[in-house]
Amino acid sequence: MQSLAPSSSIGIKSIMRSPSPLPNPRRRVNFSVQSAARSFDSNQSVSAAAPPSAAAGGFTSGGVGKNRADWQSSCAILASKVVSQQQNTEKTGGADNITVVNGHRTLDLVPVVDSNNLPKPLTITDLSPAPMHGAQLRVAYQGVPGAYSEAAAGKAYPECDAIPCDQFEVAFQAVELWIADRAVLPVENSLGGSIHRNYDLLLRHRLHIVGEVQLPVHHCLLALPGVRKEYINRVISHPQALAQCELTLTKKLGLNVTREAVDDTAGAAEFVAANGLRDTAAIASARAAELYGLNILADGIQDDSSNITRFVMLAREPIIPRTDRPFKTSIVFAHDKGTSVLFKVLSAFAFRNISLTKIESRPHRNRPIRLVDDANVGTAKHFEYMFYVDFEASMADVRAQNALAEVQEFTSFLRVLGSYPMDMTPWSPSRDD
């Protein structure tokens, strides 16, 4: 999967403002951080935030270390990468390519948009805290205007200044480097399940979950004006969107054509429009159709009308948990010895009548395999897992504190990702219901 923005380009581009209640999409942060990000291993967090405290939901054990020197060197790495990326861009220009990633054909796309909209080079001053932003909350999201993440930012913070970023890594770093105040991250979908890569990102960075929103997602099939369904031989979108519309595309619309995954839904729409592609349709929102001048060929094409995506809001500092409204707490833990650990951990919540809303396991990135020697049988190899659990209680609730104290006894690593108000907005299904 590739970004629709030139992946080697570096810049913040100015884009139009949108009317309320959608957030104000002002700038696109699309400095490329792939290589810079690789320099930040888990021991080199770029977070400048103070160490989290248990009371504020930053309870952690066995987590990564960080200090001012790490932060400064991370900034230096990022700044030097920015300069070299910029030079590469100048050398290579921006060719419009289809590449092969993990065996899939993907688009390496360069939008040919009006030159006022082309990314402007990021300078070192763009990486320092910007005191001129005024009182508006700046919320970084992955994608371009019209992406669902932008809508989620607008739902969480109606008056916010939404900052598009070409990658999640960039959205995280925008917050860590004080370019943005919050990042918005899709974490699970009612049809597609958990977005695993984003869970991995939560662990690699030191941001705190400070809120959640659940957004009904209503997909449209978009094409250039005058293009009919019969002309389409390719559908492009975010992989979640492609998966969420698979049945409708094939069974209802008869579109047994190539699918190609790109970084975000609205970026797919922008690409079709910017390149005048008459054989390609994008799956994206009605707002993306409006922003990029595309027609809606089919409306509400998600296979299940109750298609909800859950997003979390991330900040440098945890919020102070409260007990006067429903809160949720997200934790991640690992264990390296003992039996029935998962059972014991879950009982710590069950005995205190704390409901779990999610449990997810992910192979441990740094320690994927555990060897268990057995002289009679040989060497057994088990996957090592990280477990992600969400439970319905605030860290200000003594039951949650006691449960976590107990969990800590059975685990080798425990981190509270955040304790935050639950999204209690009434169920509002997709528009076509």
Ligand X SMILES: O=C(O)C(=O)Cc1ccccc1
Select the residue interacting with ligand X from 241, 261, 272, 403 (CB under 6 A): 241
Q: How far apart are CA 66 and CA 232, in angstroms?
A: 51
Q: Which is nearer to ligand X, 44 or 190 (CB)?
A: 190
Q: Which is nearer to ligand X, 61 or 430 (CB)?
A: 430
Residue burial 61-73, b: 16+ Cβ < 10 Å; e: rest: eebbebeeebbee
| Cis before 216 (ω within 30) | no
Q: How far apart are CA 75 and CA 379, in angstroms?
A: 44
Q: Which is nearer to ligand X, 169 or 264 (CB)?
A: 264
Among positions 256-285, residues that touch ligand X (CB under 6 A) are: 264-266
238 binds ligand X (CB under 6 A): yes
Q: In the beta sheet, which residues pair with residue 370?
A: 382
The rounded Cα 297 to chain-centroid distance in angstroms is: 28
302 binds ligand X (CB under 6 A): no
Q: In the beta sheet, which residues pair with residue 331?
A: 389, 416
The DSSP result for 163-221, as a single string, is: EEESSHHHHHHHHHTTS-SEEEEEEEETTTEE-HHHHHHHHHS--EEEEEEEEE---EE
Q: Which is nearer to ligand X, 85 or 265 (CB)?
A: 265
186 binds ligand X (CB under 6 A): yes
Tell me the two tokens of residue 260. Answer: 């190609």
Output the smallest distance, CB 215 to ligand X, in A: 7
Select the residue interacting with ligand X from 8, 85, 106, 240 (CB under 6 A): 240
Per-residue interface string for the shown chain with ligand X, residues 303-342, x marking contact by CB under 6 A: ------x---------------------------------
Q: Which is nearer to ligand X, 360 or 384 (CB)?
A: 360
Output the smallest distance, CB 143 to ligand X, in A: 5
Q: How far apart are CA 34 and CA 36, in angstroms?
A: 6
The DSSP result for 65-79, as a single string, is: ---HHHHHHHHHHHH
Output the smallest distance, CB 197 to ligand X, in A: 12
Output the smallest distance, CB 267 to ligand X, in A: 7
Output the smallest distance, CB 275 to ligand X, in A: 18
Query: Pairing relation of β-strands 182-189 and 138-142?
Result: parallel
Per-residue interface string for the shown chain with ligand X, residues 127-166, x marking contact by CB under 6 A: ----------------x---xxx-----------------
Q: Amino acid identity of 129?
A: P
Count of residues that interact with ligand X, criterion CB under 6 A: 13
Q: Which is nearer to ligand X, 192 or 421 (CB)?
A: 192
Output the smallest distance, CB 21 to ligand X, in A: 17
Q: What angle do CA 225, 229, 235 make, to 5 degrees?
A: 90
Instruction: Check: CB of residue 34 under 8 Å from CB of residue 165.
Output: no
Strand, helix or coil for residue 259 = strand
Q: How far apart are CA 394 and CA 327, in angstroms?
A: 5
Tell me the two tokens of residue 4. Answer: 């629709």
Q: Which is nearer to ligand X, 75 or 147 (CB)?
A: 147
Strand ranges, E, within 254-304: 258-261, 280-284, 295-299
CB atoms < 10 A from the CB of 274, how many? 17
Q: Which is nearer to ligand X, 147 or 162 (CB)?
A: 147
Residues in the chain: 433
77 binds ligand X (CB under 6 A): no
The piece of 62-70, 72-80, 129-137, 233-241 that touches ligand X (CB under 6 A) is 233-241
222 binds ligand X (CB under 6 A): no
**Cα torsion through 88, 93, 94, 95, rounded to 10:** -110
Output the smallest distance, CB 149 to ligand X, in A: 3
Q: How far apart are CA 187 and CA 149, in angstroms?
A: 11
Per-residue interface string for the shown chain with ligand X, residues 37-56, x marking contact by CB under 6 A: --------------------
What is the set of active-site residues? 309, 311
Output the smallest distance, CB 238 to ligand X, in A: 4
Judged by the rule CB under 6 A, the positions of this chain that interact with ligand X are 143, 147-149, 186, 217, 238, 240-241, 264-266, 309
